[in-house]
Amino acid sequence: MVVAVEADLGNLHRYAGHDQPDDDLLRTCVHCGMCLPTCPTYRLTGQEMSSPRGRLWLMKSVADGRLDLLDPIFDEQMYQCLNCRACEAVCPSGVHYGPLVEAARSQLEQHRPRPFWQRATRKVAMGWLFGDGRRLRAAVAGLRLYQRSGLAALLRRSGALKLAGMEELEAMLPPVSRRSLVPGAEHWSSPEPVRAVRLFNGCVMGTVFADTNRAAARVMARNGASVDLPVGQQCCGALHVHAGMMDEARTLARANIDAFEATGDDAIVVTAAGCGAALKEYGYLLKDDAVYADRAARFSARVRDVTEHLAETDLVPPTVPVDRVVTYQEPCHLVHAQRIAVQPRKLLSAVPGLRLVEMRESSLCCGSAGIYNLIRKEMAEDLGDRKVRHVMETPATEVVTANPGCAMQLRASLRRNGSRVKVRHIVEILDEAYGGKQNIDSDGSARAGAERVG
């Protein structure tokens, strides 16, 4: 009789140390399978191990001593997952999948030997570079110089990028904003502010997309807010949590909590869906930290995505027509992790002249998923192509999103498929409809009647 080769379960590695997948969370899964069709990797592969239910079963199997923590399939599947959380949003039993897969990754990072160069790269890129805003700004300044000096064009023409395998990475990068946004250096205000907003800068948003953050600040200033960026804030740590680097993530979280604590209960507004989701989960991330647990929960309660915040306010109707057709790509960490789906559409519908045409599968992951598109190129490209197909079925000339990772992935995917569709952040569209920098003084204050430009 033919039987499968049983694994040697005598000496298997089990969960140990900090950040183990929570057993009670794990057991809320009743294995009904409702999550399957919403999972991008299951959709592409049709295989059970690439589904949320399959991955939860693998996690449970490690907990039960039926699968080795270091079995290659465990690593493969925990990292093939995009952590897009689409499964979570449809789960009838309310399984908190995100924290489970993040804990599983943390277990892998703690117990699985990685080659030296991988450890070093992670340490430098994730720990050192993203660990401090100044270092990142310096690095992005170099990038800016590269793009503007003509070196980029030269390298692209010469084919050197292709040779170095950097072509894809380079294609993702939008023109870097002229100046990074430095906390404490700029602020915006309505003439008579009715609320104070504390803008969370973020690492990529505050540098590469600094002008998008400025656009968001202007839009909020036109809607009765004073906007500033508390000093001392850092990267949100989402990339670290997703990579199982919990210690690094917690260090960043504590720094952010310290930085925003002096501003009372003012809303902390975020322009990146990925950061917003991570900030809203600080309470969970630091739940076992005696000093920070309560403060983290209070911090998380203040966090709002910029679309969520604007939709909560009595929006001043924008008046400058934007006569274009757009389609909306939902960032996973907005629609699934934060369940924000109505607000962005509501805001877009307030823009005069703008026509929103929905694409198919607007809430299916585009394949960005933080740095996923760099480490799982093939799967990410398949998802990117699928997304572009759906965009191109619509008459839209622009695809609107609300997260830097999505923006970069969409940009690269559209280019690869020869599409001229542009990628925009939702606040850029709104800012345009409010007249951009018109009636905004150079010091950031909106003049009286600034909402009535155009």
Partner 1 sequence: MDHAGLVQRLERILGPGGVFHRPGDLLVYEYDGSVDGAVDTARPAAVALPTTTEQVAAVVKLANEAGLPVVARGAGTGLSGGAVAQQGGIIISLTRMDRILEIDREDRTALVEPGVINLELSETALPEGFFFAPDPSSQKACTVGGNVAENSGGPHCLKYGVTTNHVLGLEVVLPDGRVVWTGGRAPGGSGYDLTAAMVGSEGMLGIVTKALVRLTPQPESVVVLLAAFGDMDAASHAVSGIIAAGIVPAALEMMDALTIEAVEPAYHAGYPMDAGAVLLIELDGPTGDVRETADEVSTLCRQAGATEVRTASEKAERDLLWKGRKMALAAMGRLAPNYYLHDTVVPRSKLPATLRRVGEVSKEYDLPIANVFHAGDGNLHPLMLFDRRRKGSVERVLEASHDLLHYCVEVGGALSGEHGIGTEKRDYMTLVFTADDLAAMAGVKNSFDPRGCFNPEKLFPKGYMCGEVRALRAQAMAQKLGIYAL
In terms of C-beta density within 10 A (0-12 exposed, 13-18 middle, 19 or more buried), how is residue 448 classed?
A: exposed
* Cβ at position 382, least distance to partner 1 in Å: 13
Helices (H) and strands (E) in the chain, counts: 25, 9
Joined together, the tokens standing for residue 30 give 């009743």
Q: How many residues does the chain have?
A: 454
For the CB of residue 341, give the shortest distance to partner 1 in the complex, in Å.
13
Residue that has been written with the tokens 């600040």 in this structure: 217
CA distance 293 to 297: 6
**Smallest gap, in angstroms, from Cβ of residue 295 to partner 1?**
28
Provide, rounded to whole angstroms, the least separation between the CB of residue 139 and partner 1: 39
Q: Virtual CA dihedral for 87, 168, 418, 431, nearest 10 degrees? A: 70
Closest to 344 measured CA to CA, from 354, 323, 363, 330:
330
For the four alpha carbons of 409, 410, 411 and 415, in that order, the dihedral sign comes to: positive
Distance of CA 426 to the CA centre of its chain: 14
* CB-based contacts of 415-421 (< 8 A; 24+ apart in sequence): 415/171, 416/171, 416/381, 416/384, 416/385, 416/388, 417/385, 417/388, 417/392, 419/388, 419/391, 419/392, 421/391, 421/392, 421/396, 421/397
Q: Which CB sits closer to partner 1, 239 or 364?
A: 364
Per-position DSSP letters for 89-147, written without gaps between them = HH-TT---HHHHHHHHHHHHHHHS---HHHHHHHIIIIIIITT-HHHHHHHHHHHHHHH
In the complex, least distance from residue 451 CB atom to partner 1, rounded to whole angstroms = 32
294 within 8 A of 286, measured Cβ to Cβ: no
- Residue 309 · residue 341 · CB < 8 Å: no
The pair of structure tokens assigned to 17 is 């140390």
User: Which is closer to partner 1, CB of 95 or CB of 236?
Assistant: 95
Cα(278)–Cα(245) distance, rounded to whole angstroms? 13
Give the shortest CB-360-to-partner 1 separation in angstroms: 10
What DSSP character marks residue 318? P
Output DSSP code: residue 445.
B
Q: Which of 364, 296, 299 is nearest to 330 (CA)?
A: 364
Instruction: Give the pair of three-digit tokens for residue 61.
Output: 């199997």
Nearer to partner 1, 25 or 129 (CB): 25
Q: How far is the CB of 90 from partner 1 (least distance, A)?
A: 8
Decide whether 1 or 290 has the Cβ nearer to partner 1.
1
Roughly what angle, to the nearest 10 degrees, separates helices 377-393 and 404-416? Answer: 80
Instruction: Indicate the residue among 96 and 179 with the shorter CB distance to partner 1.
Output: 96
Question: Cβ closer to partner 1: 62 or 267?
Answer: 62
C-alpha to C-alpha distances, 238 to 157, 243, 279, 404, nearest whole angstrom: 35, 9, 8, 13
Shortest Å, Cβ 63 to partner 1: 12
CB of 315 to partner 1, least distance (A): 23
Using the minimum distance from each CB to partner 1, give the nearer residue, 246 or 380. 380
Q: Which of 90/182 has CB closer to partner 1?
A: 90
In the bound state with partner 1, the residue whose beta carbon lies nearer, of 44 and 315, is 44
In terms of CB distance, is 91 or 433 closer to partner 1? 91
Q: Smallest gap, in angstroms, from Cβ of residue 243 to partner 1?
A: 22
Positions in the binding site for partner 1 (CB under 8 A): 1-7, 27-37, 46-49, 53-54, 57-58, 61, 66-67, 71-74, 90-95
Q: Which is nearer to partner 1, 35 or 396 (CB)?
A: 35
Closest separation between CB of residue 34 and partner 1, Å?
A: 5
